[in-house]
Amino acid sequence: MEALNDQEIHNLGMNFIGKKLQEMGYEFVAINSQLKKHPQFVLFKKGEPTIFVLVKTSNNIQNPESYDVLWMETFKEHAKKQNAQVWYAGIGIANAHSVEAPVFKNQPYYFAFEDFIKILD
């Protein structure tokens, strides 16, 4: 069995969040699925401001919503210049059989995701 690499784990999280955003009625203006390139999603919905969504997928299923506060302050300044809101999506992903094991290709896994954290309204 081959474990997923960081980019593959990130892509699983991106797909999960993308589906949630579509269910919420958002259109994608831009999508960037490269690791450490932000924002991952730029959203549009008629009558609402632009929304930047930052996605972080990790194996931290206990506290997936933690993020670098100093870095986020820098990103918020960028968003303000664009008159955009900032949402954060922290997702934990784990092997379905054992949280101690890595997530393997073509093997069951599960997500820990509460909700979007609105960083800047």
pTM: predicted TM-score of the whole model, two decimal places: 0.91
**Residue 84 DSSP SS3:** coil
Tell me the pLDDT tens digit for each residue of 16-50. Answer: 999 999 999 999 999 999 988 889 999 999 999 99
DSSP H/E element including 94: strand 85-95
For residue 117, the model assigns a pLDDT of 95
Domains of the chain and any CATH numbers:
6-120 (3.40.1350.10)
Q: Name the residue among 95, 120, 119, 91 with its Cα closest to residue 105.
A: 95
